[in-house]
Structure 1
Amino acid sequence: MAAARAVRMTEEAGTASLFDRVGSFLRDHRLDPTPANYAFAYHLIASPKGPVARAVEALTESGVRISQSDVDAMNLDVQAQERPDAAKKADGLVARTQMQVEGFADMVTAMRVETEGFGRDLAASAAAMTLSTDLGKGEALAASQIARITATMIARVRTAEAQLETATREASELREKLEEARDNARRDPLTELPNRRAFEEAFTVQAAAGETLCIAVCDVDHFKSVNDRFGHAVGDRVLKAIGEALSQSCPGHLVARYGGEEFAILFSGVTVDAARALMETARTTVSTKRYRLRETDAPLGEITFSAGLTCAENTERLGTAFHRADRLLYAAKSAGRNRLRIG
């Protein structure tokens, strides 16, 4: 009993010590005590030799505190390493369901072809029996009965064909809805751009294929003041306008709304100089446009964005490259906003 109590006290002391260290880390770096930040600090302290801990050590070795944006970027790696990805499981379920639906549709189509052929053969046999005149009386009676049975079978085949046609149509509609659901899960409902999930999946697929990839991270300058002065409906229209400008300026590349007022662009198969030219075009397009309120035609004021651009190295994780682009973004903001930083 005493031994068990001693073990329990030791465990409680260890838990308290870990809890205190997590709290101290958040206080030292002036991070809000949110669940995500607690989880990040716990992972960092519980795995002091892990890649995230090494990244934090490199950032803070000169006495600099890490920022919330640093934590958010590095959390990409933590989530990729640890979380049981429910979204991927759901994707797997949808994919399996879609395969089953497609298999069912193929089976129904094959059955329709077979029943149509069977129906034609039965109809031809019945017609031949009815028209035959060289049969004896007994044979004619038997043929009449066979023709009647055959006609009944034909009617049943026609009914089965109609039911199979309905099933085929329903399977096709279900397949289309599954495709729509999978697409919606990767699309931002406001801007109709790909979302963060689609961006991360595209990076993984293209990196595995050996593509040359560059990442740009953009953030609308002074967006909070737009919402405060004009309301969220106007803020939403600003986000849509910037999403359209980025998409038009970067054709052939993935433009995603990453979250809030932040956008991310995945450039594939181009040099950093080519990506820079496209980003500068987008930045100029947005900053030179004169935005007005739809209701009153009053000027909205200058709308700009800042951005960071970097190229991902071979085998580099998304979290690492994204974090570098994000730091360049904040360097652009610190330098006066409405500019692009490359690194």
Structure 2
Amino acid sequence: MVAAKAVRVASGSQAARGLYDRIGEFLVDQRLDPDPANYAFAYQLLANPDGPLARAVHMLTDGGVRLTRRDIETLGCDAPVAGTATATIEKAQGLVAQTQMQVEGFQDIVTAMRADAKDFGRDLEASAQAMRRSGGDDLEVTKLTATMLERVRYAEERLETANREANELRTKLEEARDNARKDPLTGLANRRAFEEAYAAEAAKGTRMSMAVCDVDYFKSVNDRFGHVVGDRVLKALGEALSDTCKGHLVARYGGEEFVVLFTGLDIKAARDVLERARIAVSAKRYRLRETDAPLGEITFSAGLSPAVQGEVFGTVFHRADQLCYAAKNGGRNCIRID
């Protein structure tokens, strides 16, 4: 009896230890800090591997993509699959596209109605003038014609207003579609736009290389100076990468992670461009706007890998991401190349 109880306790301890080890491996693999929020998220995920949270995480990380802190905040611990950030964005973009099509259809109808009203008004005016030249003196007909002309002119004005408003709405919808592919903090392309660009270039058979760049010791910047300063650092880094990598797509992939899609360059030329960006960022000295106190050196580590023709996005990203991880382990402020 005592032996059986001891076996059950030992078995339970082994299961708990196994879960604990898996949580630690998950946090290391995803490069997440072992803070209470991340630990709770990992526990909820791994304790119920077939639950809705696990399915949502699988959708986001399919192909080797890492979770970001924003993903975790969005998913929470009870998030349904339909509530993932990707599903929400796709639904919103679908509604925007549908509304834009309806607006364009409405504008076509308004344009046709306006043309018809204008033609009718012109014909009615010509008939009235013909009646006056012929000496017609039917007062009722003249009054009716004048009333109809007034109504036609009013209809033209209303249709002109409707056409102008439709134009303004279409412009706003186009901006909304653009913003759905833009990172709100840096103004760079976001993850979705970057992945779509990769797919488009891959379909054309373009020579490509992908870089994953991660700000070194970014957590310490937030801890020492606050998230507002951290956001400024991210914006400055995004600008530096965009300026140095002109002609190539730079995106903020999430958190402190940026990605660059080099097109039309061999891997050596892409590395040279990325190295210039690394030197430019590390040479700059950042200061607090309010006190002019120095922030210290800001650097990034990066992994760069060429895309083999036919490779899906996740495969190339995972390879570049692992190289970035190796760069961080190798001392930071450096580039690892495949």
TM-score by length of 1: 0.76
Q: Which residue of 2 aligns with 1:278?
A: 273
Unaligned runs of 5+ in 1: 1-18, 56-68, 77-82, 134-139
Q: Which residue of 2 aligns with 1:29?
A: 25
**Is 1:262 aligned to residue 262 of structure 2?**
no
- Deviation per residue, 1:216-251 (Å, 9 max, x gap): 111111111112222222211111111000000111
Cα 1:296–1:27 shift into 2, 3 Å: closer
CA contact 1:304–1:338 (8 Å) conserved in 2: yes
**Is 1:215 aligned to residue 217 of structure 2?**
no
Q: Find the residue that maps to 2:185 and give its secondary structure.
A: coil
Q: Which residue of 2 aligns with 1:198?
A: 193
Cα 1:90–1:189 shift into 2, 3 Å: closer
Cα 1:319–1:33 shift into 2, 3 Å: farther
- Deviation per residue, 1:227-277 (Å, 9 max, x gap): 222222221111111100000011121111111111111122222122111
Q: Which moved more, 1:317-326 or 1:206-215?
A: 206-215
**How far, CA to CA, are the matches of 2:48 and 2:334 in structure 1?**
33
Cα 1:201–1:37 shift into 2, 3 Å: farther
**Is 1:323 aligned to residue 323 of structure 2?**
no
- Deviation per residue, 1:182-230 (Å, 9 max, x gap): 1222111111111112112222222223222211111111111112222
Q: 1:92 aligns with which of 91, 94, 117?
A: 94
CA contact 2:210–2:305 (8 Å) conserved in 1: yes
Q: Find the residue that maps to 1:267 and give its secondary structure.
A: strand
Q: 2:149 aligns with which of 146, 149, 154?
A: 154
CA contact 1:22–1:38 (8 Å) conserved in 2: no
CA contact 1:22–1:42 (8 Å) conserved in 2: no
**Is 1:310 aligned to residue 300 of structure 2?**
no
- Deviation per residue, 1:126-149 (Å, 9 max, x gap): 12212323xxxxxx344x433322
Cα 1:233–1:26 shift into 2, 3 Å: same
Q: Find the residue that maps to 2:332 and give its secondary structure.
A: coil
Q: Which has the larger radius of gyration?
A: 1
2:45 aligned partner, one-letter code: Y
Which of structure 1's runs of 4+ aligned residues deviate more than 3 A?
Answer: 19-25, 30-33, 39-43, 69-73, 83-86
**How far, CA to CA, are the matches of 2:209 and 2:337 in structure 1?**
11
Cα 1:191–1:114 shift into 2, 3 Å: same
Q: CA deviation at 1:37?
A: 7.9
State how 1:34-183 maps to structure 2 within 5 Å.
Answer: 34=41, 38=45, 42=49, 72=67, 85-133=87-135, 140-142=136-138, 144-183=139-178
**How far, CA to CA, are the matches of 1:315 and 1:22 in structure 2?**
38
2:131 aligned partner, one-letter code: M
**How far, CA to CA, are the matches of 2:113 and 2:307 in structure 1?**
52
CA contact 2:19–2:46 (8 Å) conserved in 1: no
TM-score by length of 2: 0.77
Q: Find the residue that maps to 1:42 and give its secondary structure.
A: coil
Q: Find the residue that maps to 2:290 and give its secondary structure.
A: coil
Q: Which residue of 1 aligns with 2:224?
A: 229
Q: Find the residue that maps to 2:49 and give its secondary structure.
A: helix
**How far, CA to CA, are the matches of 2:118 and 2:67 in structure 1?**
61
CA contact 2:23–2:46 (8 Å) conserved in 1: no
Q: CA deviation at 1:292?
A: 1.7
- Deviation per residue, 1:138-185 (Å, 9 max, x gap): xx344x433322211111111111110111111111111111211222
- Deviation per residue, 1:59-107 (Å, 9 max, x gap): xxxxxxxxxx87549xx9xxxxxx6634323322321221111121122
Cα 1:40–1:203 shift into 2, 3 Å: farther
Cα 1:245–1:121 shift into 2, 3 Å: same
Q: CA deviation at 1:24?
A: 7.1
Q: Find the residue that maps to 1:92 and give its secondary structure.
A: helix
CA contact 2:23–2:42 (8 Å) conserved in 1: no
How many correspondences in the alignment?
A: 295
2:274 aligned partner, one-letter code: M
Identity between Structure 1 and Structure 2 (%): 60
**How far, CA to CA, are the matches of 2:103 and 2:23 in structure 1?**
53
Unaligned runs of 5+ in 2: 1-14, 28-38, 72-80
Q: Which moved more, 1:204-213 or 1:233-242?
A: 204-213
**How far, CA to CA, are the matches of 1:160 and 1:30 in structure 2?**
66
CA contact 1:188–1:257 (8 Å) conserved in 2: yes
1:255 aligned partner, one-letter code: V
**How far, CA to CA, are the matches of 1:157 and 1:120 in structure 2?**
10
State how 1:240-255 maps to structure 2 within 5 Å.
Answer: 240-255=235-250
**Is 1:299 aligned to residue 294 of structure 2?**
yes
